Structure 1
């Protein structure tokens, strides 16, 4: 089922609202590897991190809106190492109840269009769990290629999962 959304930028939102949606996504899926509450100790830390991230040319944070509510996000984090500034890392999450409705596809399409316009990024990387088949198919449909499968890359409790590093040239 396709769900049409409006795509907006980070600066069109209150940090508290974005903090809530990103935290919700992290807490309602096992496919995120970051410990959100440890990484962002409150709204202020979240806002500061994203303000610094978005101050770098080429960085993005896009928000998918449905019925005036944020239902997904996509972040492009530019590598700051001097010889790697042409590369960036993609992360994305969709609110539970809106997953598998084409929202990730719309976010990814909007991000790639913006990256092509700015020409700041030449290579986009992402990590995905090997058992997250829907996400892998989405990325492959946008011409991401698998670089390597990392055995036992992610550990949840006592269970291990393989990770896949993917890349796309812009």
Structure 2
């Protein structure tokens, strides 16, 4: 692996981060939305990152190689008071850096940070069911599939299933599947 640094988004140039996101979204059709839908311009991207910085427990990291961000992970805590112990994960790797282990690296560093963040207990992510390399990566990191959302994503006239996955980052907290009858029977107020 090439020499790298892990940096907080705040320590990276906004135009370089935006270029990384543009590359990830342009070189993969695995995202549920296009970059133009998510961030119509660099100003909306900058506003979203500023909002992210204000969220207690938020994690936004980049792998920087040769002074350029090559991969990122965002763990975004949910805002509603009853969901603030949960967060959503989004990550990507630049086309030029794929296949070198950067996805595994940035995912692990992000999850290590989440494990010591006292506000976070559960991290969720969505992945297309046909993205088997990503599902394997997430399962190796400890994520468990919760459910398959049939026909969740439509690109032109083709439908794709989505997989909702979660990881409990609190030591000793089980990630049992909701399909487990014991988990279903014992779930309720704690």
TM-score of the pair, normalised by structure 1? 0.94
For the pair 1:100 / 2:99, whether they are aligned, the reply is: yes
Mapping for residues 136-147 of structure 1, pairs under 5 Å: 136-147=135-146
TM-score, structure 2 normalization:
0.85
Instruction: Give 1:23-102 correspondences, 5 Å limit.
Output: 23-102=22-101
Equivalences, count: 169
Name the structure 1 match of 2:185.
none
Instruction: Work out the CA distance in 2 between the residues paired with 1:120 and 1:71.
Output: 28
**Residue 108 of structure 2: SS of its match in structure 1?**
helix
Q: Offset at 1:39? A: 2.3
Please say which structure displays the higher CA radius of gyration: 2
Rounded Cα–Cα distance in structure 1 between residues aligned with 2:46 and 2:160: 31
- CA shift, 1:3, in A, is 5.2
Distance 1:150 1:3 in 2: 38
Structure 1 residue aligned with 2:123 = 124
CA drift of 1:41 comes to: 2.4
Determine the C-alpha separation between the residues in 1 that align with 2:31 and 2:144.
20
Q: 1:169 corresponds to which residue?
A: 168
8 Å Cα contact 1:5-1:103 kept in structure 2? no
CA RMSD between the two structures: 1.2
1:8 match: 7
* Aligned equivalent of 1:114: 113
Match of 1:155 in 2: 154
Structure number with greater CO (CA < 8 Å, separation at least 6) is 1
Query: In the alignment, is the contact (CA less than 8 A) between 1:145 and 1:166 conserved in 2?
Result: yes
Over 6 Å off, 4+ runs: none
Q: Secondary structure at the match of 1:128?
A: strand
User: Deviation at 1:4?
Assistant: 5.5
Change in Cα spacing, 1:108 to 1:164, as seen in structure 2 (3 Å) is: same
- Aligned equivalents of 2:20, 2:111: Cα separation in 1: 22
Give the deviation of 1:38 after TM superposition. 2.5
Unaligned runs of 5+ in 2: 170-190
